[in-house]
Copies of this chain bind each other. A is one copy, B any other.
Amino acid sequence: MFTANGDYANLKGNYLFYEVGKRARAYAEAHPDAELIRMGIGDVTQPLVPAVISAMHRAVDEMSRAETFHGYAPDFGYEFLREAIHKRDYVSRGIDVSQDEIFVSDGAKCDVGNFQELFSRSCRIAVLDPVYPVYVDTNVMGGRSGAFDPVKGGYANITYLPATAENDFVPELPKEPVDAIYLCYPNNPTGATLTRGQLKPFVDYCNKNGAILLYDSAYEAYIRDPELPHSIYEIEGARTCAVEFRSMSKTAGFTGTRCAYTVVPKDLVCRDEAGNTVRLRDLWARRISTKFNGVAYVTQVAAAAAYNEGYGEIMNTVNYYMENARIIRTSLEAAGYTVYGGQNAPYVWIKVPGGDSWAFYDELLDRCHIIGTPGAGFGKAGEGYFRMTAFATRENTIRAMERIKGGKA
């Protein structure tokens, strides 16, 4: 008798953004005249840049002729793209990562979600609170969470590291032993960043305790402060404990084009349940060879163009969104809200008057026709906050702020 994975039953509710989208669709259907402004799901609105578009047309043409046609891509990505990533993101910053530690994929969400397959089932994970739900949900599905504990406001076997205004969004180290820590900087959803000095204790903790650090730096392109690190490998000791996830989604407007990459250093060595000494890089490579068939050629050409000849253009788009973030921050502050983030990240984290974030979601949707994301959806410590993204168009960003200023929320 076939029996399904019972760990899925531990999942609490729907995937957050599915729920946010569903509510917004229901509202739109009931109010067909409402002009909704989407600042919730964090999807970009600006088109692919000209250099990327040209490269894609060229690649499509190559696919039209037998002599230049491309079949299966190399499992880990074409060398031309791995080289472009290597140079742009690591060599140019003097960071010690080698090309064969870079694995190209179709999305950081996939990579982050799949990486926990390399963990033993008994691995105890720690996450920030609030947190991007994928870290938690994929570990629930992998059997590491235990049941959801309503009193704790989280899963029994997951360690939560609160990051709120009370601690200036700087999480403390775990107070109980953990085996893996997920960090995300610039942070989704709070927009917070950590300095090198604030990241170092996490790297030291992992090396001292044989834990691993899953570092999501999908938003590093949004860092403005030259003192802030872009990569975890800027921190001494990270090569022996940290994995890094990066994405073209917000860097190059690739949410609908799909390209990302993960770095797994060869120095990251551990034991498996059978007592073997293994390199996580080799397990990840094996997972990819067995369960993945590479990223489309056209997409990889597009990503390489974004990193090479199109780099100035994609940075202009990043600047455009960061100007939106500034407008959101200053407008909300002028309207009397307390806001965080938005200075080195495309997310603005708003303190909710009254403290009920789903009520604020409904109110903002109903009164201002603005879709945001309730902080409670990101975890217990997210309650009392609300996330707005800077990815709308300039026009809609300004309209949204005018609606709020007009006293509609």
Instruction: Point out residues on A near B: beta carbons under 8 Å.
Output: 1-9, 11, 14-15, 18, 41, 43-48, 50, 53, 56-57, 60-61, 63-66, 69-73, 75, 106-107, 109-110, 113-114, 117-123, 133-134, 137-138, 141, 179-180, 209-212, 249, 253, 255-258, 270-274, 276, 278, 280, 283, 286-287, 289-299, 393
Contacts and interface: CB of A to CB of B under 8 A. Distances in A.
A57 B55 CA distance: 11
A3 B137 CA distance: 20
A283 B8 contact: yes
Contact of A15 (B9, B44, B119, B286): B286
A173 to B, nearest CB: 16
Given A9-B272, A113-B291, A179-B3, A60 B63 contact: no
Nearest to A213: B2
Contacts of A255: 71-72, 293
A61 B50 CA distance: 10
B1 A138 contact: no
A249 to B, nearest CB: 8
Query: Oligomeric state, in number of copies?
Result: 2
A395 B8 CA distance: 51
Contact of A258 (B6, B15, B296): B296
Contacts of A57: 57, 60
A71 B256 CA distance: 4
Nearest to A275: B6
A212 B2 contact: yes
A72 B141 contact: no
A47 B133 CA distance: 41
B60 A56 contact: yes
Contact of A2 (B45, B179, B298): B179
Contact of A120 (B4, B256, B273): B4
A272 B9 CA distance: 8
Nearest to A109: B293
A202 B106 CA distance: 36
A125 to B, nearest CB: 10
Nearest to A107: B293
